[in-house]
Amino acid sequence: MPSVSEAQYRAEIARFCHLTYEKGYVASTDGNVSARLPDGHIMCTPTISNKGFVKPEDMVIIDMKAQKIKGERKASSEIAMHLLIYEMRPDIHAVVHAHPPCATAYAAAGIPLNKALISEVVLALGCIPLAEYGTPGTPELSDQLRPFVKNFDALLMANHGVVTYGANLEDAFNRMDTVEHFAKISIYTKILGRERLLSSEDVEKLWVQRQKYYGLEGSDAQPKDPMCPVTDGVSETISLTRSELIDLIERVVSNLK
């Protein structure tokens, strides 16, 4: 008989898998979810399983070296990414990996979700950087994620999907929810043809609030990357008069000759 807490973890992982599927964040056998157990082992979803139908008894328990401790099935093929996060972040106890369509579109376009567009997203995540592509299920992928894991709680994985992590399963899932919602809003601002970014002063005030809301102290309360999120002070668009533009083009063309 599994202990009560192990049974609870099994049920909770299954619940968040079902939610991830129902929200459309995964299709078919995409994605994987894991949690760090009180004894330090990792419970994760089995490989090639539809997250809409996965059952508590399907979960696999492994150690931090990916050796199976318990379970009928094989652990997720992308478990190395989860282990990397648990290893680098002792504060993290749950990881969710999915392919939500809007955020994954950003990942496929090679565009990070790094703009200070929505105050609540800055508060919750700061920004969501883009890790370059690495073949799933190989050390290449972990190598691309490693530089970001310490300083961010949600990452876009180029040409692949999203990984989010938190102190518990709800926390990790909420971050996935925030990333996809923000990606959708970001696409709408593109459709509207205008993005009005928050100023760096606005973002600084949000970081003070973040400290209060999340009980963060010292360096944890500060932005980890001065360019993340991008504020209106660091505009990607420039404005030129017609004659300045003509002058610029003429100079480029004459250099080509």
For 146, list phi and psi in degrees, rounded to 5. Answer: -45, -45
Report which residue type is found at 170.
E
Give the separation between CA 173 and CA 208, rounded to whole angstroms: 24
What would the DSSP string read from start to end of 190-239? HHHT---PPPHHHHHHHHHHHHHHHT--GGGGS-SBTTBSB-TTS-S---
Active-site annotation holds for 78: yes
Q: Which is nearer to Zn ion, 151 or 159 (CB)?
A: 159
Q: Which is nearer to Zn ion, 162 or 198 (CB)?
A: 162
Q: Which is nearer to Zn ion, 46 or 161 (CB)?
A: 161
Residue of 22, 78, 120, 170 marked active site: 78
Measured over the CA atoms of residue 90, residue 94, residue 98 and residue 100, the dihedral's sign is negative
**Closest residue by beta carbon to Zn ion:** 161
Which residue in this structure is represented by tokens 């073949």?
A: 135
Minimum CB distance to Zn ion, residue 97 (Å): 6
What would the DSSP string read from start to end of 38-96? TTS-EEEPBSS--TTT--GGG-EEE-TTS-EEE-SSPBPTTHHHHHHHHHH-TT--EEE
Report which residue type is found at 193.
G
Q: Which is nearer to Zn ion, 112 or 161 (CB)?
A: 161
Q: What would the x/- binding string for Zn ion be over residues 104 to 143, using CB under 5 A? A: ----------------------------------------
Minimum CB distance to Zn ion, residue 84 (Å): 14
Q: Which is nearer to Zn ion, 77 or 211 (CB)?
A: 77
Minimum CB distance to Zn ion, residue 44 (Å): 13
Minimum CB distance to Zn ion, residue 98 (Å): 8
Stretch that binds Zn ion, among 20-28, 153-161, 169-177, 202-210 (CB under 5 A): 153-161
Minimum CB distance to Zn ion, residue 211 (Å): 33
Count the residues of the shown chain that bind Zn ion, applying the rule CB under 5 A: 1
Scanning 89-159, the segments in alpha helix (DSSP H) are 101-109, 119-125, 139-149
Stretch that binds Zn ion, among 40-48, 109-117, 159-167, 198-206 (CB under 5 A): 159-167
Provide the annotated active-site residues.
Answer: 78
- Chain residues binding Zn ion by CB under 5 A are 161
